[in-house]
């Protein structure tokens, strides 16, 4: 799958990657899935269109804020663990119930 847009991540360039994701996510339809390789992150919509951040993968600490930005369903404690598969898949567009952030 050829991405519609790409961003080359440099270490310490989380802000630039954040701006890239915020800007390009509105060019896609509803987000469906995130695939994280060891060296890149790919965001895919329901039409199978995608965009990609190269140079940043699931072993990196900066992947967590970007996964949260696209509302990916993942466990921050285990996302960095190696896998035997080629990549990790996370569904995107996670929703929270009303008042989930309030303590009862």
Domain-wise residue ranges, the chain: 5-91
CA distances from 36 to 28, 33, 83 (A): 18, 10, 11
pLDDT at 11: 92
pLDDT at 96: 67
pLDDT at 64: 96
pLDDT at 28: 83
**Whole-structure pTM value:** 0.85
pLDDT at 88: 96
pLDDT at 104: 60
**Are 38 and 58 spatial neighbours (Cβ–Cβ below 8 Å)?**
yes
Residues of the chain with pLDDT under 70: 95-97, 99-101, 103-104
C-alpha 53/C-alpha 85 separation (Å) is 19
């Amino acid at each position: 799958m050829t991405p519609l847009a790409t961003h080359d991540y440099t270490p310490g360039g989380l802000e630039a990657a954040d701006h890239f994701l915020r800007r390009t996510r509105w060019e896609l339809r509803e987000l469906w899935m995130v695939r994280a390789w060891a060296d890149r992150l790919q965001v895919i919509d329901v039409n199978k269109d995608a965009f990609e951040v190269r140079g940043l993968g699931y072993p990196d600490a900066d992947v967590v804020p970007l996964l949260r930005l696209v509302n990916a369903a993942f466990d921050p404690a285990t996302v960095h663990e190696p896998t035997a598969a080629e990549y990790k898949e996370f569904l995107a567009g996670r929703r929270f119930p009303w008042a989930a952030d309030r303590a009862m």
